Amino acid sequence: MYKIACLFLAAFSLSVGLRAADERPNIIVVLCDDLGYGDLASYGHPYIKTPHLDQMAAEGIRFTDFYSTAPVCSPSRVGLLTGRSPNRAGVYDWIPPGRPGTKDRRGDVHMRASEVTIPQLLKKSGYATAMAGKWHCNSIFNSPAQPQPGDAGFDHWLATHNNAAPSHANPINYVRNGEPVGELEGYSCQIVVDEGIDWMEGLRSKNSEQPFFLFLAFHEPHEPVASPEELTASYRNVAFSEKEAEYFANVENVDRAVGRLLDYLEESGADEDTLVIFTSDNGPETLNRYERSSRSWGRADPLRGMKLWTTEAGFRVSGIMRWPGQIAAGQVSDEVVSALDFLPTFCDLAGAEVPAGLELDGANFLPALEGEAIEREKPLVWAFYNALNERQLAMRDGDWKVLGRLDLARTPNLGAHNIEEVKAAQLVDVEIYNVRYDIGEARDISFSHPELKERLTQKLKTHYSELLEGSHVWE
């Protein structure tokens, strides 16, 4: 009890200390699309040059055990914005363009108006809010038929439904605050940063001291990849092919975009008052599963698997945070942090109230910024019913990673057509890995540690049952 009390007081003191310099910091989240765990130089890539992100890590904290909320884009974004497993919102897989009325109801899937989001809560606390980039939280984009970014709490938004089209270069499918803007010149990540800077400059021009929340959702390095020729040329001598060179260049272009964002914060004087977080929505696309994936050369090294898998590579991603004067420079942390933790942490920093009774799956990550443990009421649990590795359940609990297989065929959605079958599915097999020492999940220790297997299997069953019970089913 004494230890728990001390940890609570330490976390409380840290929270107060982090807010002392500026009671309500600006918060910027930069989210990549399909960036591999090993795609940045600071995470071990041998060729891709990412000097700005390397500097960001050197001036802040780099997490080695950072997790997205799902191994694929749509549910990952919904989980990030709500602080809840995306299953609670009924978003189980990527959302295809609207085709309502199908048996699996995927065309009806969207982040419902009843969901509570980060921008909504921060806005109530006096924050200005904006997003730019990939939305992909509904099937019917820019229509009153389903909630849009503005309904989710963003005062200003420039977004696409899914991918930048026809590619990252000169996209034609952006919509600003409900109005299509036509072709935009340049590359998507730079366009997104342009929009963010213009919006921040607009606040600044009003001499506003209003704090802000800015969500920059890059399309890169998801297909269809397009990269500046000068960057592509610099990788031709080390890449396996022209298409791999284009991928390497794509990631470096992301780095340049982040560099421009950080430069603006410093030049505008907002640097000291702004927490910037860089991460990815899921792991990399590494297989030629469809024709357009020929430029998907992301690296998950040293993790096993890829996007759409429940092994570490599916959702263990880069996580870098920088906040000059508040986060000590040069830190590398192996504390387990999740994008689910954003909502409770941001609300703490902003003095925003989390609605009573709102079931959250994340925790306040502020203690991790000073080397302390995060106090979690429950482990991180993923239920991804369409997993390519056919292990639909995953749990990270301390050093342990548990993978569970249900006797259930793969499915992208839960609805009236299959909910009884899903509820009846039994956990038929588990694997256990100590990912603190076995990051590649190479040695399943479930057979050699029967007591551990029994304990963790029961824990997975308990938390999965609670999650399934709280999951939204499309009727």
CA distance 292 to 246: 14
Q: What pLDDT digit, counting tens, does each position of 260-279 carry? A: 999 999 999 999 999 999 99
pLDDT of res. 20: 43
* Amino acid 286: pLDDT: 83
Is a pLDDT exceeding 80 seen at residue 51? yes
The mean predicted confidence, pLDDT, of the chain is: 94
Mean predicted confidence (pLDDT) in 75-103 = 94
136 in active site: yes
The CATH number of 23-370 is 3.40.720.10
Is there a contact between 277 and 262 (Cβ–Cβ < 8 Å)? Answer: no
Q: Which of 32, 45, 52, 73 is catalytic?
A: 73
Name beta bridge partners: 338: 67
pLDDT in tens, 96-127: 998 887 889 999 999 999 999 999 999 999 99
pLDDT band at 21 (very low <50, low <70, confident <90, very high): very low
Question: Which pLDDT score, from 0 to 100, does residue 11 have?
Answer: 42
pTM, 2 dp: 0.94
| Mean pLDDT along residues 151-158 | 98
First to last CA, the chain: 45
Q: What is the SS3 string spanning the chain?
A: CHHHHHHHHHHHHHHHHHHHCCCCCEEEEEEECCCCCCCCHHHCCCCCCCHHHHHHHHCCEEEEEEECCCCCHHHHHHHHHHCCCHHHHCCCCCCCCCCCCCCCCHHHCECCCCCCCHHHHHHHCCCEEEEEEECCCECCCCCCCCCCCCCCCCCEEEEECCCCCCCCECCCCCEECCEECCCCCCEHHHHHHHHHHHHHHHHHHCCCCCCEEEEEECCCCCCCCCCCHHHHHCCCCCCCCHHHHHHHHHHHHHHHHHHHHHHHHHHHCCHHHEEEEEEECCCCCCCCCCHHHHHCCCCCCCCCCCCCCCCHHHHEEEEEEECCCCCCCCEEECCCEEHHHHHHHHHHHHCCCCCCCCCCCCCCCHHHHHCCCCCCCCCEEEECCCCCCCCCEEEEECCEEEEEEECCCCCCCCECCCHHHHHHCCEEEEEEEECCCCCCCCCCCCCCCHHHHHHHHHHHHHHHHHHHHCCCCEC
Tokens of 341: 């933790």
Clarify whether 222 is annotated catalytic. Answer: no
**pLDDT at residue 264 in the model:** 98
Q: What is the pLDDT of residue 288?
A: 66
> CATH number of the domain at 380-469, please?
3.30.1120.10
Q: Per-domain residue ranges for the chain?
A: 23-370, 380-469
Q: Which position among 45, 52, 110, 136 bears the catalytic label?
A: 136
Count of residues making up the chain? 475
